[in-house]
Amino acid sequence: MEEQFTLFPTDTELETPTEQTTSEGVESVSFRDLVPEIDDTGYLTHAVFAYPAKFIPQIVRYAINTYTKETDWIVDPFAGSGTVGVEAYLCKRNAVLFDLNLLLNHIMPLKIYSGKKPLNEADLFRRLATMQESNHRFIPDWSNVDYWYAPEILEVLSYYWGFVNNMDDDVFASIIKAALLKASKRFSNTEDRTPKLARSKRKLNAIAELLKENWREQLDEMVHSLSLKTLRSLKDFVMYTQQHYNENTPEIQWQGGVDSSYITVPRECDALITSPPYLQAQEYIRSTKMELFWLGHTEEEVRELSRLEIPYRKADRIVQTETLDKVREMLTRDDLCKRLDSYFCHTVNALENAMVQLKPNAAACIFVGNPRIDGIMVELWRILAEYFTERGWTFEKVYEDRIKTRKLFGARKNKNPDGMKSEFLLILRKRATCQTAALPRGPVLQDAAARAPDPKTFRDSDAS
């Protein structure tokens, strides 16, 4: 499928890291080897939506199996594409998910679909056939939409989205929307294999050549095939869960469009499993704004959320640890110092806000990399370990997972052009006397939940 829809040439390449050093006291592992039952990171519904820097399910599954038991509650304040929620559901755990990105509200109902109605492929094909004759139009609330699309492609997409936005809000509408999101990006002027929106001469030339061909047929075939693939993934998901569950199904609660630093976690939890945004790769709203606009969100909503992404907000306190202070001393640029302070301020704020609701002896499993800033390596796991152990948490261990392959994007400037050689799973254990507490900070997103597209906030997993 991936090869079938590579319509445009890319300059990506797979590279194998060669660095072999391991920090003292770090246990080197391969989570893919430790969790052999998952042989595909996109299995079941994990690949239904595209999302930058996804949390691979093997790591989540290992943390769930090792640090939780059935019916436990897990919290993830950086939910992203919902990997923790899906794995929690599959492993009979409950979960509470938060994320700044409103896309979470659209992702989760489909990724943990548990409807009882049979998913008939013929019903899907009838919807798709009707879509091609649609006379409803939908133009995103996006002043730059013409910049990102050839006029004839935009016109066709506007009718397709007009149709799906006028459909009954059922699982078939969600399936077609997921396919249209991918197709709308692939047939745009952006480099669709890179995370952020970026026009290039190469992609513009590719679109120009495509318009000389049967591009409408290719668009329809892509939407048709992706929709069918998603429907079959949902059927596999339902079949798997029906085989493994009796009556009680896990409860997965989610809320997108909120700042995890301020939102109230509604209950005590038995574990935290999360992967905070990386130091130099935090622009998830900007990376997914094309999708958000097509899904009906406004420029005002997207702009407000974008301001709360880590590179664009000020630190309201300075986090200090021995390792972090050394990095700060080596930086010679004020802008990079401010970015470093902002990153640790708001990352720690969100972690503390969630960790205060963990039960005594609960594990906090935090997955991070070690990026570079101005050529200086920043050991995120070590800084977080220092910060929380100073506040009464017990450092249990840290795992290093070597990155076997990674995709590099040569068409854009990369803050870490050589990539990261490893990623780390930090395990902290909460003592009864921990000082961790949510700081008395006023909410920034006072009405974020009200603006969300009514996911029936903190709904259960039966929603479709």
* Domain range summary for the chain, segments of one domain joined by +: 12-106+250-451, 121-241
Just give the CATH number of 12-106+250-451. 3.40.50.150
Find the mean pLDDT for residues 23-32. 85
Residue 255: φ, ψ to 5°: -155, 115
Among candidate residues 45, 217, 22, 224, the one with its CA nearest the CA of residue 130: 224
Question: Which tens digits make up the pLDDT trace of 224-268?
Answer: 999 999 999 999 999 998 887 767 889 999 999 999 998 999 999
Question: Which tens digits make up the pLDDT trace of 183-201?
Answer: 999 999 998 777 788 998 9
Residue 412's pLDDT band, with cuts at 50, 70 and 90, is: very low
**CA distance linking residue 119 with residue 172, whole number of Å:** 8
Give the per-residue pLDDT at 422: 85
Residues 320, 230: contact at Cβ < 8 Å? no
Is pLDDT at 354 greater than 80 in this prediction?
Answer: yes
Give the per-residue pLDDT at 24: 64
Higher-confidence position of 182 and 50: 182
Give the per-residue pLDDT at 25: 74
Average pLDDT, the chain: 85
Provide the 10 A C-beta neighbour count for residue 387. 22
Find the mean pLDDT for residues 307-322. 89
Is pLDDT at 445 greater than 70 in this prediction?
Answer: no
- 43: its two tokens: 């299995």
Find the mean pLDDT for residues 315-328. 96
Give the per-residue pLDDT at 101: 95
* Partners of 401 in beta bridges: 29, 423
Query: Ranked by mean pLDDT, which of 88-97, 243-252, 282-291, 444-453 comes out on top?
Result: 88-97
Chain mean position to CA 453:
18
- 171: its two tokens: 């699982």
Give the pTM.
0.86
Find the mean pLDDT for residues 37-47. 94
**Do the strands 406-409 and 12-15 form a parallel or antiparallel pair, or are they unpaired?**
antiparallel
Is pLDDT at 455 greater than 50 in this prediction?
Answer: no
Find the mean pLDDT for residues 144-172. 95
